[in-house]
Structure 1
Amino acid sequence: MNRVSDEALDTLFREAHTHSAWLAKPVADDVLRQLYDVMKWAPTSANCCPARLIFLRSREAKERLRPALSPGNVEKTMAAPVTAIVAYDLKFYEKLPKLFPHNPGMREVFANNPQLIESTAKRNSSLQGAYMMLAARALGLDCGPMSGFDSFKVDEEFFGSGKCEECEEEFFPEGHVKSNFLCNLGYGDSSKLHARSPRLEFGEACTLL
């Protein structure tokens, strides 16, 4: 596999910041579709793909989120062009016959094991959320991930009964989708960035055995 350029590494990691201030520039729906079409190819356990995403784009949708936000996250979330709710589906195993067809018994590995279901869903949706951020940066977007919110309020508001705008079908009616974290997306206002916080050096975080 060819190594990506230093410019790409800067875009994805070294020069990428967490953004809290946003330019008044909308994110096109096609960009969000491209974002998903890139991130979906990244690996998960048994290709289980448990992440479920809701992209909040309208003021009305953001207002539904407001009561669940910690005070310090309200202003930046209301200003962001898009807020993604990264969630996980506790019934992800129902899709394994499609996603992992070469092992027909994989669904049953999870179906009667609630502890394995939850740990797998949380771990892999977190991975997919990180993949989403990398895909967003690769497509020219900035990211502002957040964990300051009331997950119970988010789940009650967004993962109960509702209808998809495009297909008009009901989604998440059984309460088996749970929020993991939030991530604002858009075009960050670089003039409002704080100085980059330090990171641990290799010897402080890593061991070679």
Structure 2
Amino acid sequence: MTLALDAAAQDLLFREARSANTFTDEPVTDEQIQAVYDLVKYAPTAFNQSPLRIVLVRSDEGRERLVQHMAEGNRPKTSTAPLVAILAADHEFHEELPRLFPHFPQAKDAFFAERPAREQSASFNAALQVGYFIIGIRAAGLAAGPMTGYDAAGINKEFFPDGDHSVLAVVNIGRPGESAWLERSPRLAYDEVVTTV
């Protein structure tokens, strides 16, 4: 093997990890989620812009507000997962850049003064962070059930009425329950994906 991670870590994060559809009722604590965030916050984004924002949905009222905007097939699992996270891009991330990227304090205005440029960069870099977050959930020994089947405009209006955030994914989080997995789908082979020039 040429990877630094041992086989058990590779299995935990990738080979044996699956998107969960059912969960036990074991709670997911704030401490677990903070440990996940404190790990994945070090993963790269352009200019260290870190545009991902996370809304943890714990209350019954919050769950009801979210579930009404989920696709019908996603409603039962979102209703019963121990924890649900709404992952969104903050289009005003540039306000933090002088602190987060002190090596180039003028980046805030040099690259991100115009809203369309900020939205594009925020969406791309926050999407990277969504992937990091899912790997972090797996690293904590938990299962993630990421979903994009929802009414995005409805969620944005419900949870981000300021218009400065946009939902990218909703992730159910917990310990996998009974019949949590679908059959593993095939993946493209190396030679189907990689070319050399």
TM-score range with shorter-chain normalisation? over 0.9
Match of 2:172 among 184, 196, 201: 184
List aligned pairs for 1:126-141, cutoff 5 A: 126-141=127-142
3-state SS in 2 of match to 1:9: helix
List aligned pairs for 1:156-167, cutoff 5 A: 156-160=157-161
- Structure 1 stretch displaced more, 183-192 or 40-49: 183-192
Percentage identity across paired residues of the two chains? 38
**In 1, Cα distance between the equivalents of 2:7 and 2:97?**
37
Task: Give 1:200's aligned residue.
Answer: 188
TM-score w.r.t. length of structure 1: 0.89
TM-score w.r.t. length of structure 2: 0.94
List aligned pairs for 1:47-58, cutoff 5 A: 47-58=48-59
Would the aligned equivalents of 1:93 and 1:110 in 2 still touch at CA under 8 Å?
no
Would the aligned equivalents of 1:59 and 1:78 in 2 still touch at CA under 8 Å?
no
Task: Give 2:60's aligned residue.
Answer: 59
In structure 2, give the amino acid aligned to 1:97: P
- 1:52-104 deviation per Cα after TM superposition (whole angstroms, max 9, x unaligned): 00011232211110111100100011111111111011110110000001112
Would the aligned equivalents of 1:97 and 1:107 in 2 still touch at CA under 8 Å?
yes
**In 2, Cα distance between the equivalents of 1:178 and 1:194?**
29
Which sections of structure 1, spanning at least 5 residues, go unmatched? 161-173
CA RMSD of superposed structures (Å): 1.3
List aligned pairs for 1:63-82, cutoff 5 A: 63-82=64-83
In structure 2, give the amino acid aligned to 1:12: L
In structure 2, do the counterparts of structure 1 residues 6 and 157 end up closer, same or farther at CA, with 3 Å as the change threshold? same
List aligned pairs for 1:18-167, cutoff 5 A: 18-160=19-161
Which sections of structure 2, spanning at least 5 residues, go unmatched? none
Q: How many residues align?
A: 195
User: What's the offset of the Cα at 1:195?
Assistant: 1.6
3-state SS in 1 of match to 2:68: helix
User: What's the offset of the Cα at 1:206?
Assistant: 1.8
